[in-house]
């Protein structure tokens, strides 16, 4: 049995590393999808055909979590893996295994639900009080090669400070952020309450040593339980591995299963994500092409001579080359906009879709956030801070592209222009 567990641990660590390298922003994409959905629903302009690419990661992960449990958190989330690595380092450096008292731990876990509720409130009302506060954005900018320290320490200073505090907390408390602060974790926790994969503990053979409890990454008290129904459980199998009597088991639909099945479930999720993403990317590319064509047609119609020739085309109809279509950024008028938050998409690097939300307050563009992007993180991060700050200061979607990140810049500009077309009165 011991051999099986250690093989399982090796596979689990490998899955975490693969996910960290290949899907470092999946938890952000998934949360941004939920944000876009809430904003679109609250604004009454939810167009699911347009939202689908942005919603895909959220739908996949929340559905999988609802059925099987939080395998994503246990095996795939880059931020969770960061927490694990930092805690391991803390253990080696300080040799302290600090455990927050159970009562305090239970109370602190409510913070993430309150945070989620507050974030939903800001999305619905459009108040940008937390702009620049995201530790996830700081994490994203520091993950680029080379790390974008300028963006992290000037544009999102508060987010970077929070990230550092989270790292310090993770040195001493295992999965510090996941337990107490992660708003996506709050969603997963609620979604997984009816999951079919659970940890079961036979009470008859239990020596009451509490080894399982003291090894639980999420601070769940396992002693009084015969089955873990808690949404806090991330299916990490640490308790299963720790019990000297092999008293804990993974149970799927009430049948005992090998811990290795947990890794297989996580690996299947990675595969499913990639397979689904291929279809979604193709769909997004065709959708985006339609949006650009329609926008260009509208622009042509607005500038063209009203005289129509006998063959039904205008005399001044322009020929738009493929290249200029790909990098065109339809400028939006700076005339009055209706307050609210709008979602728009544009074409970024290699024809991938960039989706952003644009917040209008007092008729002015006050905030621009990324919902999703297929761009290379390095170029996108570089383009985003410059392009969005120019757009906000000029109140115009057509600004200077960042040299060396032209396609990413154009993707952002056209996505903002698309969002602004919905904001026009």
CB atoms within 10 A of CB 100: 18
The minimum distance between CB 397 and ligand SF4, in angstroms, equals 32
The minimum distance between CB 133 and ligand SF4, in angstroms, equals 16
The residues that touch ligand SF4, with contacts defined as CB under 6 A, are 27, 73, 77, 79-80, 177-178, 182, 184-185, 188, 199, 216-218, 220, 222, 228, 233-239
| Rounded distance between C-alpha atoms, residue 105 and residue 176, angstroms | 10
Nearer to ligand SF4, 152 or 266 (CB): 266
How many residues in the chain?
Answer: 425
The minimum distance between CB 2 and ligand SF4, in angstroms, equals 17
Dump the DSSP string for 28-88: HHHHHHHHHHHHHHHHT---HHHHHHHHHHHHHHHHHHHHH-SHIIIII-HHHHHHHHHHH
Nearer to ligand SF4, 222 or 399 (CB): 222
Nearer to ligand SF4, 53 or 231 (CB): 231
| Rounded distance between C-alpha atoms, residue 130 and residue 122, angstroms | 8
Indicate if the alpha-carbon torsion angle 19, 25, 27, 29 is positive or negative. negative
* H or E stretch at 200: strand 197-201
| Rounded distance between C-alpha atoms, residue 304 and residue 164, angstroms | 55
CB atoms within 10 A of CB 215: 17
The minimum distance between CB 323 and ligand SF4, in angstroms, equals 40
Both tokens assigned to 212: 């399982």
Nearer to ligand SF4, 79 or 337 (CB): 79
The minimum distance between CB 112 and ligand SF4, in angstroms, equals 8
Nearer to ligand SF4, 82 or 365 (CB): 82
Nearer to ligand SF4, 196 or 301 (CB): 196
With H, G, I as helix, E, B as strand and everything else as coil, classify residue 399: coil
The minimum distance between CB 248 and ligand SF4, in angstroms, equals 7
The minimum distance between CB 230 and ligand SF4, in angstroms, equals 7
Can you give the C-alpha Rg of the chain in angstroms?
24
Dump the DSSP string for 361-384: ETTEEEEEEEEEE-S-HHHHHHHH
| Rounded distance between C-alpha atoms, residue 9 and residue 238, angstroms | 9
Nearer to ligand SF4, 167 or 237 (CB): 237
The minimum distance between CB 33 and ligand SF4, in angstroms, equals 13
Nearer to ligand SF4, 222 or 401 (CB): 222
């Amino acid at each position: 049995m011991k051999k099986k567990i250690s093989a399982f641990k090796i596979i689990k660590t490998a899955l975490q590393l693969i996910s960290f390298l290949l899907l470092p922003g999946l938890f952000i994409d998934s949360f941004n999808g939920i944000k876009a959905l809430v904003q679109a629903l609250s604004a009454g302009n939810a167009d699911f055909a347009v939202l689908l690419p942005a919603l895909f990661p959220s739908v996949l992960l929340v559905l999988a979590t609802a059925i099987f449990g939080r395998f994503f958190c246990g095996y795939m989330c880059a931020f969770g893996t960061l927490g694990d690595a930092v805690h391991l380092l803390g253990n080696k450096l300080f040799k302290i295994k600090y455990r927050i008292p159970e009562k305090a731990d239970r109370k602190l876990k409510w913070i993430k639900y309150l945070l989620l509720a507050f974030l939903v409130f800001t999305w619905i009302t459009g108040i940008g009080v937390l702009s620049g506060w995201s530790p996830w954005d700081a994490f994203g900018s520091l993950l680029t090669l080379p790390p974008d320290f300028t963006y992290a320490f000037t544009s999102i200073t508060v987010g970077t400070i929070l990230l550092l505090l989270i790292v310090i907390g993770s040195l001493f408390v295992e999965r510090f952020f996941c337990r107490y602060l992660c708003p996506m974790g709050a969603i997963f926790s609620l979604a997984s309450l009816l999951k079919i994969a659970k940890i079961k503990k036979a009470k008859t053979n239990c020596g009451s040593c509490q080894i399982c409890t003291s090894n639980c990454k999420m601070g769940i008290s396992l002693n009084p339980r015969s089955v873990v129904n808690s949404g806090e459980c991330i299916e990490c199998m640490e308790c299963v591995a720790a019990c000297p009597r092999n008293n804990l088991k993974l149970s799927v639909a009430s049948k005992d299963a090998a811990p290795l099945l947990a890794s297989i479930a996580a690996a299947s999720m990675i595969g499913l994500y990639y397979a689904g993403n291929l279809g979604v990317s193709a769909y997004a590319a065709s959708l985006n092409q339609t949006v650009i064509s329609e926008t260009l047609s509208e622009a042509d119609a607005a500038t063209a001579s009203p005289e129509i020739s006998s063959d039904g085309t205008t005399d001044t109809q322009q020929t738009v080359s493929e290249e200029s279509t790909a990098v065109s950024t339809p400028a939006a008028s700076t005339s009055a906009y209706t307050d609210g938050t709008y979602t728009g998409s544009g074409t970024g690097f290699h024809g991938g879709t960039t989706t952003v939300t644009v917040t209008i307050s007092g008729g002015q563009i006050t905030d621009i956030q990324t919902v999703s992007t297929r761009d290379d993180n390095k170029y996108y991060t570089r383009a985003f801070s410059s392009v969005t700050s120019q757009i906000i200061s000029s109140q115009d979607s057509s600004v200077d592209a960042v040299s060396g990140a032209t396609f990413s810049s154009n993707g952002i500009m056209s996505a903002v222009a698309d969002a602004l077309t919905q904001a026009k009165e």
